[in-house]
Amino acid sequence: MAADRTDPVVGTPHGAVRGRYERGIAVFRGIPYAAPPFGPRRFRPPEPPDPWDGVRDATAFGPTAPKPPYSEAFARYLSDPEIPGDECLNLNVWTPQPDPGARLPVLVWIHGGALTRGSSAVPVYDGSAFARDGVVCVSLNYRLGVEGYGLFPDAPPNAGLRDQFAALRWVHEAIAAFGGDPDRITLCGQSAGAISAGALLAAPQTRGLIRRAVLQSGPPEASDRDKVRRVVRRMAARLKIPATAEAFAAVDRDLLLRAQAEAGRLSGPVLGGPAFGLVVDGDLVPRDPLRALLDGAAPGVELLTGWTRDEYRLWLVPGGLHERVDRIGPVALAGAMARCRVGPEVPRGYRALRPDAGAAETVGQMVTDHLLRVPLHRLADARPGSSYLYEFAWPSNLPGLGACHALELGFVFGTGDLPEARKLAGENAPRALRDAMHAAWVRFATTGNPGWQAWDDSHPVRVFDGGVPYTAYGSLDEAMALWTTASQVPEPAPGGTVRAPGAELAAAVRRLRRSVGALRR
């Protein structure tokens, strides 16, 4: 019987690890892929871990990266375990067959969380269902917030992305011993994890490491350097220190997290306030990842991308902003115009397409299209025949959430029965939908085809809702067309002020941000 098996032991590039069998699946947790990023390594690129003698226990999740907790409002919906310790650059492996001869497809998961929260220890990301269905599943931790994405004059940028790259190289070198095929790696991520996966896919250094990629609710993109730098400067002002890596490295981690939480209080997809993000660095990110992929980077890599129908509801509902936005509709629309850098013809177009929608839905869908659907459509247009698009449309059983951001994760991983998945989906989520969506991801990781028509001029999008999944053709074409002729408001000035047309719009945006700040305090 599986329960009577001897615990599995596998060799890695730095030493042997012992996992355990769980319901017939060999599970290894907390394997270090890089050295602890603290002390002299703080704010520096990852380095290999020190090798160890004997067999290292790998039965428990390793430490998570330092991060502030979710607010009480968001913690009602999202779980985010915190495990203390310095060795936070670790990963986990679920495999049905820890045998070098198995050569099974591999799925590497990068978690989301706005690059400031999340970890591989979130129960919803349990990889057992993938392993049960013949896919080796790997999940990883990486540095978050200012530790991973602060922009300093005396340290290389994108430390967290460099962590992910180090983990990907570890997988390519070590996964065969766990039964995986290093030539069949699917890189997969959601939200900030998808943005990260897109950047890695576009990076010249990953050529030959990635066979397929899945981008869930996150496009390839790079952030404005001045925007990221402003967060660091705000933190430095609060801490009364220079905005340098050397000065930040001398600050206690908990104090740094408190300063980070305060400095990023107004950040978010709708407002577009200060936030951490990947930046063009001339090295791992030599240019904007979306532009690189549109120009032909990562040739031959199959791509699965998609979104949830009501992404914006998770951004607005927990803090009560959904109701506040509906009450101040004109201000919300002004803020969305500034966020999307478009003139008034775009929101007018959305109102014409959805005349019964309230201000919150108009704002939410417009910003969602700007952030997600427009760039993912462009990406598919540039890679016809090897791109597959989907929409997750089943609405949560909890009031107000709809088919919101992150709702699909319990379906993809087949973990919908867990309490942590029910926090977002509610009770009695449809099992058939979970089976269908998980099976599509398994097929894609195994064959490169999730089971529906590849992108072409008919614009097929697979829709996952409460019934049998179906393919819709051109369902978003009218909304996408609004962006092809939109008059663009100029980019933010170097100092960070949006040069929007007219003082009225700028004042409206300021009022909206003050309102949201009051909600979050």
Nearest alpha carbon to residue 89 among 156, 152, 160, 25: 160
Alpha helices (runs of H) in 289-404, residue ranges in sequence order:
289-294, 312-316, 321-327, 329-340, 345-353, 359-368, 374-382
* 3-class secondary structure per residue, 274-292: CCCCCCCCCCCCCCCHHHH
Report the distance separating Cα 17 and Cα 12, nearest Å: 7
Q: How many CB atoms lie within 10 A of CB 400?
A: 16
Contact partners, residue 266, CB within 8 Å, separation at least 6: 273, 274, 513, 516, 517, 520
Report the distance separating Cα 182 and Cα 116, nearest Å: 30
Furthest CA-CA distance within the chain: 72
Q: Which amino acid is at 187?
A: L
Burial of 435 (0-12, 13-18, 19+ CB in 10 A): middle
- The strand pair at 460-464 and 104-110 is best described as unpaired
Angstrom distances, CA of residue 412 to CA of 157, 214, 393, 483: 32, 11, 14, 31
- The strand pair at 460-464 and 470-473 is best described as antiparallel
Report the distance separating Cα 188 and Cα 510, nearest Å: 37
Q: Are 14 and 89 in contact (CB under 8 A)?
A: no
Q: Which amino acid is at 198?
A: G
Q: Which two tokens stand for residue 149?
A: 């994405």
Angstrom distances, CA of residue 108 to CA of 33, 98, 140, 296: 14, 16, 8, 23
- The strand pair at 104-110 and 180-190 is best described as parallel
Q: Are 109 and 125 in contact (CB under 8 A)?
A: yes
User: Which positions are annotated as active-site residues?
Assistant: 191, 311, 405
* 3-class secondary structure per residue, 80-132: CCCCCCCCCCEEEEEECCCCCCCCEEEEEEECCCCCCCCCCCCHHHCCHHHHH
Q: How many CB atoms lie within 10 A of CB 479?
A: 20
Which residues does residue 305 pair with via DSSP β-bridges, in sequence order?
215, 389
- What does the radius of gyration of the chain's CA atoms come to, in whole angstroms? 22
Report the distance separating Cα 476 and Cα 473, nearest Å: 8
Which residues does residue 136 pair with via DSSP β-bridges, in sequence order?
106
